A and B are shown apart, each in its own frame.
Chain A
Amino acid sequence: GQQLNQSPQSMFIQEGEDVSMNCTSSSIFNTWLWYKQDPGEGPVLLIALYKAGELTSNGRLTAQFGITRKDSFLNISASIPSDVGIYFCAGTQGFGNEKLTFGTGTRLTIIP
C-alpha cells in the first residue's frame, strides 16, 4: 500500500537541540496529521492540520501544512528525553472518516 515519504529515517540528537522532520507525497491530502508512537503503544496524535499553509503549534511542537498540499513538516524545539520515539506523518484525502495514509516514520534518539 501507499506510504508517505518521511525524512530523515532516524535522528540522533543531544538533549536541548531542535529537531526538524518532513513528509512528502505524490498525491494531494486535505488533512495532515503528526503522531508519536512509543514502544508497545499505538500512535498518539500530536498535531492536526486542515488548511494549506496552516502553521500550528502544540507546546514545543510546530507543524505546517504545505501550500501544495503534498507536504508537511514538524519541528520540535529544545528536545527533552521524553521526546524519544517514532514520529509518523499521516494524511487523509477527504473529509469525514477517511482512512489514514501513514509515512514511513522518523525514529528520534536523544544522546545523553
Chain B
Amino acid sequence: ETGVTQSPTHLIKTRGQQVTLRCSSQSGHNTVSWYQQALGQGPQFIFQYYREEENGRGNFPPRFSGLQFPNYSSELNVNALELDDSALYLCASSLFGRGNGYGYTFGSGTRLTVV
C-alpha cells in the first residue's frame, strides 16, 4: 500500500509567479485535502476535493485553486504569489465518509519559498 506522495519537495518562486503542487493519494483513498503550514504554526485548511469537486474551503483567497483527477490525485495552484505564501504545503488523503481525522494520511509536504 503506497502512502501519499507530493511533488516537488522544494520549490523557489518569485513574487507574482504561479505555482502548481501535486499530490498522489494513498491507495484506496478518494478524497484529498490541502493544508498550508507557515513556519512555527500548525497546518491551516485550504480546501478538500471529493469526486473531482471542491468539498469545503478554508479562509483562503480565490487565487488558491485546485483540481482532482479521476485517479484521485490532486493539484494545488496558487496564482500571483505573495511573500506570505511561503510555507509547507501538506496534502492529506482519506476515504470519504470515514473522516473525523482518523482516516487522514498526510504526505511529507512541498516547501514553497517565495522571494
Contact = CB atoms under 8 A, between A and B. Distances in A.
Interface of A: 1, 3-4, 6, 30-31, 33, 40-45, 48, 50, 88, 90, 92, 95-105
16 contacts: A1-B58, A33-B101, A42-B90, A42-B92, A43-B106, A45-B101, A88-B42, A90-B101, A92-B101, A97-B33, A97-B94, A97-B99, A98-B99, A98-B100, A99-B45, A100-B35
Nearest to B102: A48
B42 A3 contact: yes
A105 B48 CA distance: 23
Interface in B35-93: 35, 40-45, 48, 50, 55-56, 58-59, 90, 92
Interface range for B: 20 to 34
Contacts, number: 87
Contact of A42 (B56, B96, B97, B109): B109
B97 to A, nearest CB: 6
Given A102-B42, A103-B42, A105-B42, A96 B106 contact: no
A97 B106 contact: no
Contact of A1 (B33, B40, B45): B45
Nearest to A99: B45
Q: Would you call the interface of chain A mostly helix, strand, loop, or mixed?
A: loop
B31 interface: yes
A92 B99 CA distance: 9
B100 A31 contact: yes
A96 B21 CA distance: 26
A99 B104 contact: no
A104 B42 CA distance: 5
B3 to A, nearest CB: 9
B59 A97 contact: no
B113 interface: no
Contact of B99 (A96, A102, A105): A96
B41 A97 contact: no
B101 A31 contact: yes
